[in-house]
Chains A and B, each alone.
Chain A
Amino acid sequence: MQKHTVTIGIFALFAVIAGLAQAGLLTPYHVSVLMFMGVNIMLATSLNLVNGYMGEFSCGHGGFMCVGAYVSSICTVLMFSKNQMLGAPLLPGYLTFIGFPVALLVGSLAAAVAGLVVAIPSFKTRGDYLAIITLAANYIVISAINNMEIFGGPRGFMGMSATENGMKAVLDIPWMLIFVMLGTLFTVWLLRRFVTSTLGKGVPAISQDEIAAEIMSVDTNRMKLIAFMLSSGLAGLAGGLYAHILGYVNPQSFDIMRSTEIMVMVYLGGMGSLSGTALAAILFTVLMEALRFLGVWKWVVIPLLLILLMQFRPEGLMGNKELSDLFPKLRKYYSFK
Chain B
Amino acid sequence: MEIFQHILNALQFGSFYALIALGYTLVYGVLRLINFAHGDIFMVGAYIAFFVAVSLLGTGGLPLGLEMNPALALAITVPVTMILTSLVGVALERTMYRPLRRKGANRLYVVITALMAGLMLENGNLALLGATRKSFPDLIDKVVWNLGDGVSVTNLKVIVIVAAIAVFLFLETIVSKTKIGMAMRGISYDKFAIPLMGIPLDTIIVFTFILGSSMAGLAGILFAMSYPILEPYMGALIGWKAFIAAVVGGIGDIRGAIVGGFLLGFIEIGVVAVFPSTLRDLFAFSVLLIILWLRPTGIFGVAQTTKI
Contacts and interface: CB of A to CB of B under 8 A. Distances in A.
A307 interface: yes
A125 B296 contact: yes
Contacts of B153: none
Contacts of B116: 260, 303-304, 306-307, 310
B112 interface: yes
B276 to A, nearest CB: 8
A154 to B, nearest CB: 9
A136 B119 contact: no
A278 B117 CA distance: 25
Nearest to A138: B285
A62 to B, nearest CB: 14
B99 A140 contact: no
B120 A303 contact: yes
Chain B interface helix/strand/loop/mixed: helix
Given A57-B108, A303-B117, A307-B117, A136 B285 contact: yes
A314 B127 contact: no
Interface string B274-292: 0010110110011011001
A139 interface: yes
A185 to B, nearest CB: 29
What bracket does the count of chain A residues touching chain B fall in?
A: 35 or more
Contacts of A7: none
A133 interface: yes
B243 interface: yes
Residue picked from B107, B112, B243, B281, most chain A C-beta under 10 Å: B112
Given A296-B123, A297-B127, A300-B127, A57 B243 contact: no
A140 B123 CA distance: 23
B296 A140 contact: no
A296 B126 contact: yes
B278 A147 contact: yes
Contact of A310 (B112, B123, B127): B112
B111 interface: yes
A295 interface: yes
A143 B31 CA distance: 32
A140 B276 CA distance: 16
A218 to B, nearest CB: 16
A139 B119 contact: no
What bracket does the count of chain B residues touching chain A fall in?
A: 35 or more
A59 interface: yes
Given A143-B281, A296-B123, A263 B286 contact: no
B100 A310 contact: yes
Interface in B199-242: 236, 240
Contacts of A25: none
Given A133-B292, A295-B127, A314 B243 contact: no
B293 to A, nearest CB: 5
A129 interface: yes
B4 interface: no
A109 B81 CA distance: 50
Contacts of A296: 123, 126-127
Given A129-B247, A143-B281, A310-B100, A260 B288 contact: no
A260 B123 CA distance: 13
A299 B112 contact: no
Contacts of A133: 289, 292
A121 interface: yes
B308 interface: yes
Nearest to B123: A299
Contacts of A304: 116, 120
Contact of B296 (A57, A129, A143, A267): A129
Interface in B48-71: none
A314 B119 contact: no
Contacts of A257: 119
Contact of B112 (A127, A147, A256, A263): A263
Nearest to A127: B107
B285 A311 contact: no
A300 to B, nearest CB: 5
Given A125-B296, A144-B282, A299 B105 contact: no
A314 B108 CA distance: 10
Nearest to B281: A143
A137 B306 CA distance: 27
Given A125-B292, A306-B112, A314-B109, A300 B278 contact: no
18 contacts: A59-B115, A124-B293, A125-B292, A128-B107, A131-B34, A132-B247, A132-B288, A139-B281, A140-B289, A143-B281, A147-B279, A260-B115, A260-B116, A260-B119, A299-B126, A303-B120, A307-B117, A310-B109
Interface of A: 57, 59, 117, 120-121, 124-125, 127-129, 131-133, 135-137, 139-140, 143-144, 146-147, 211, 256-257, 260, 263, 267, 295-297, 299-300, 303-304, 306-307, 310-311, 314
Given A147-B276, A211-B306, A306-B112, 5 more contacts: A143-B282, A257-B119, A306-B116, A310-B112, A314-B105
